[in-house]
Structure 1
């Protein structure tokens, strides 16, 4: 390794950015932090994406908290999944201690206890936060196939089912809508429609239907429906600070695929809604994708291609994405190549697989004066090896960094604090009440009912020797006035919003016409 003085000068030159930046910490050289050699990420490069990695318990969550605080202070909105509930303390000022102040002093950090504006959400309302839902239509068949564990053929067949529903005007809002369409296609009446789709067998439709039933048994019904979450609500400011949105994940261990694909849906929705802005001084939103390996495990080729495309293109919409996981090998190469900033916490090499992962991680870093295979196993808690993109888009020198301490509470907020925050949120009234407007389930049920009534009328006419009556047109629901729709109807607003989702569905294959 090079002399300490040379390392300090190299880092000072490499991280001497102009303009606003996230202050990560100070170079650690010769067992002592060097406050004069600050390690930073330019805000203008945050939308070039990044990776926060490291073994369990090495400080990844605190790094995420530190970055979210500084982004918020700079007026940038932040989204993160709160896997363990540890991040909720970001809404409350931190608590000082002698140990904390001694640490911050060594790296030249002025530590001031500060809370940050925070919104709390929960998937489907199964938790403390404001309910977050998506419609089946906007979720699309590729994401849904990932959740259901379908193979490529079954995924293609699900795409054809979505296509059929589109053509027939059968809106798919929740799981019962999709089950109703599949049940119709496998019924005697729907078999002709099934043949017209081409390449969709009744057996495959049955597999998908059974997967949906099992999915619903896990409690997934609550995650799909209306009102659908508007991702514009993730980009808010309060008193000049960006709002930090935290998504609570109850029972993650039971539905890991749902969690990861739901986050991918949020990204795709942002991609659809946001205008092109090109290179910006700071991003509009930074999206932390925790437990990233869950997203890529057993993913189909089409799914991986969709992720890579979304990550590549969403940069121009002013959105930065940071994947948070244990090792870079958890992220596919086509995605990893787009992650300009790396914050790598300690890795362990207790097994041959660990050693292999360590070597793979080292290979993702620029050449440096460190023996990274050795350094990465020696990092302490709250330390990381860092390389980012400078304001010119070039990688900075690799720096062994002692990270700054978050200024907010490094523990969960209390249940009372969480409840008070949720009750005070304007989004609580917006998303809490479930809407169940007419969609595929109701339309197909009415069709079955009308067919049964017609058959009964024909039977009675035949018994009585009378001509069979003409089928009665199905009565339409009484329409509200336009004024009522515009002013008071949440369902109307949701319908208008859902209509604008076609590009998202196209991106993830909802309208694919394969086979």
Structure 2
């Protein structure tokens, strides 16, 4: 009997015994980080293949991250059973390919951007950075420049960007101060600020307000093993996330980019440090901006040397951009249907991506393999693509299909991640700090106006007191017409006239208050 995991040889058993062949197919763990693809029409067995590969990697101690589109992969948290109706056909297949089904559960952590079917998964705009956000929002060069200015202002003024409210509030401040910023940072167009705000609104409507916040996800919490040495299987609930492709792309790129930045270079390790499986990955690339596709291709090409394995699961290889498809060395191709001319062309292209096998026509094999069977090509020694083989995929050891809400809650409550991530943190950040600054500025302005009104009233009172004193002054004191007295009277008139003129020229309450305050003190001094 074949082993699911052969630690001595560093291989995991994928399957064997196709329609008329019995040659086993194994994946060399050393080359698992050369990435892979699982493709095939609906109902041909892609999800089961994903589940069996995730199990094998977990048994090898490799942490795994899965996007669960239909909820089918949650069964990894529970062991399979030979009595289960869904597992009955697997018994015969296991005998045909020569393997014992040692049913068992796997260590699972459930994650969910909305925090409903798993622990909340969050990051912050500060961690994502202006360049990645600009690419994800498909901003122009001018708009990307404004985004960089906003992040620089936040850094220099100590404005923490922890959620979307912080970034939106900061952009409002940048727009309001657009005339003052060019001298230090360059021109800021309010039209560009408005365009960024609209793009952020789209992201928020797709659930971005849930993705951005604290506590932010620490990648080390995904890269764990349980006490038995199995790699943690991290399952991201993606049934709702698939309806928000921009948000899904945001999460995927951030995750891969963070791994690329944090993990050291390891070359070609004996086994991957972590493996990612992105189901229905064609949704990731539908209507995606070219900058986004370029970023995924760059990460897929460079992250291999970090010991990260990435697998794309889609209905047709043609759904995956050619530059990314060229990075996928391990391939499992389930049946493709060719009912139209376009389908037939896609079938021929898929067949051309395999190393020929003289025993059968690859295009015919791809069209004719049954459910649970696939045409495989796995990297061999020195990273050489293997000859295409018809392969029966090993049945899963865990439960096939979803779990009940009670079983999901049980798994979530038992996870140490619940205490760390389930409660959202609300620290003082850019939104609150800018709001406080606006309140303080408004309060200071109100106080200044109040003081100006008081000074104006004081000036008017001083002027009236002066006139009253002149009116009731004894004639004996006013009678002398000496030169000094005349100069004093004319001087008083000049001072008052000058004050009125200067106040009119200043034209503001604060300027008038200043003049009136000064002249009022002069009048009172008399």
Shared fold (TM-score greater than 0.5)? yes
| Alignment partner of 1:409 out of 374, 399, 404 | 399
Q: CA deviation at 1:347?
A: 1.0
Query: Matched residue of 1:465: which SS?
Result: helix
Query: Partner residue of 1:181?
Result: 170
Equivalent positions of 1:427-506 (< 5 A) are 427-465=417-455
Q: CA deviation at 1:444?
A: 1.2
Query: Matched residue of 1:392: which SS?
Result: helix
Encode CA deviations 1:475-503: one digit per residue, 9 max, x unaligned: xxxxxxxxxxxxxxxxxxxxxxxxxxxxx
Query: Does the 8 A contact of 1:142 with 1:302 survive in 2?
Result: no
Query: Partner residue of 2:56?
Result: 70
Query: Partner residue of 2:190?
Result: 202
Structure number with the bigger relative contact order (C-alpha 8 A, sep ≥ 6) is: 1
| Alignment partner of 1:274 out of 244, 253, 263 | 263
Query: Partner residue of 2:106?
Result: 116
- Mapped to 1, the partners of 2:349 and 2:312 lie a distance apart of 17
Query: Does the 8 A contact of 2:70 with 2:239 survive in 1?
Result: no
Encode CA deviations 1:451-470: one digit per residue, 9 max, x unaligned: 111111110111111897xx
Alignment pair present for 1:216 and 2:204: yes
Q: CA deviation at 1:142?
A: 4.5
Point out the structure with max Rg over C-alpha: 2
- Mapped to 2, the partners of 1:446 and 1:193 lie a distance apart of 21
Which runs of no fewer than 5 residues in structure 2 stay unpaired?
Answer: 1-5, 457-508, 511-526
Say which is worse superposed, 139-148 or 164-173, in terms of deviation: 139-148
- Mapped to 1, the partners of 2:104 and 2:181 lie a distance apart of 61
Alignment pair present for 1:236 and 2:224: yes
Q: CA deviation at 1:27?
A: 4.0
Query: Matched residue of 1:423: which SS?
Result: helix
Equivalent positions of 1:78-157 (< 5 A) are 78-96=64-82, 97-125=87-115, 127-145=116-134, 147-148=136-137, 150=139, 154-155=143-144, 157=146
- Mapped to 1, the partners of 2:205 and 2:89 lie a distance apart of 48
Query: Matched residue of 1:237: which SS?
Result: coil
Question: How many pairs were matched up?
Answer: 448
- Mapped to 1, the partners of 2:322 and 2:244 lie a distance apart of 25
Alignment pair present for 1:248 and 2:234: no
- Mapped to 2, the partners of 1:142 and 1:297 lie a distance apart of 21
Say which is worse superposed, 347-356 or 302-311, in terms of deviation: 302-311
- Mapped to 1, the partners of 2:184 and 2:48 lie a distance apart of 55
Query: Matched residue of 1:165: which SS?
Result: helix
Encode CA deviations 1:69-94: one digit per residue, 9 max, x unaligned: 11111111111111111000011111
| Alignment partner of 1:45 out of 21, 31, 43 | 31
The alignment's TM-score, normalised by the length of structure 1, stands at 0.81
CA distance 1:361–1:157, shift in 2 (3 Å): farther
Which has more helix, going by share of residues? 2
Query: Does the 8 A contact of 2:21 with 2:390 survive in 1?
Result: no
Q: CA deviation at 1:241?
A: 1.0
Query: Partner residue of 2:213?
Result: 225
Query: Partner residue of 2:488?
Result: none
Query: Does the 8 A contact of 1:33 with 1:402 survive in 2?
Result: no
Query: Does the 8 A contact of 2:356 with 2:362 survive in 1?
Result: no
- Mapped to 2, the partners of 1:148 and 1:302 lie a distance apart of 10
Query: Partner residue of 1:332?
Result: 321
CA root-mean-square deviation: 2.4
Q: CA deviation at 1:146?
A: 5.3
Query: Does the 8 A contact of 1:46 with 1:283 survive in 2?
Result: yes
